[in-house]
Amino acid sequence: EGLTEGKVFLDLSTSSPALIRDIYAKFAERGIHVLDAPVSG
């Protein structure tokens, strides 16, 4: 909601590949970049 075109969504959780693909597709329509960088430990 607060993300606008040209911004980056950084996902640090251990989301499933299917969820990340869905997020990417929806955000790409709005010109938002998605970076999947899971962190564990």
| DSSP 8-state secondary structure symbol assigned to residue 22 | H
Q: For residue 35, what are the β-bridge partners?
A: 10
Number of domains the chain contains? 1
Q: For residue 34, what are the β-bridge partners?
A: 9
pLDDT of residue 40: 82
- Give the range of the structural domain holding residue 28, as residue numbers without chain letter: 1-41
Q: Indicate yes or no: pTM above 0.85.
A: no
pLDDT tens digits along 5-41: 999 999 999 999 999 999 999 999 999 999 999 888 7
Q: What's the CA gap between 39 and 30, in Å, rounded?
A: 26
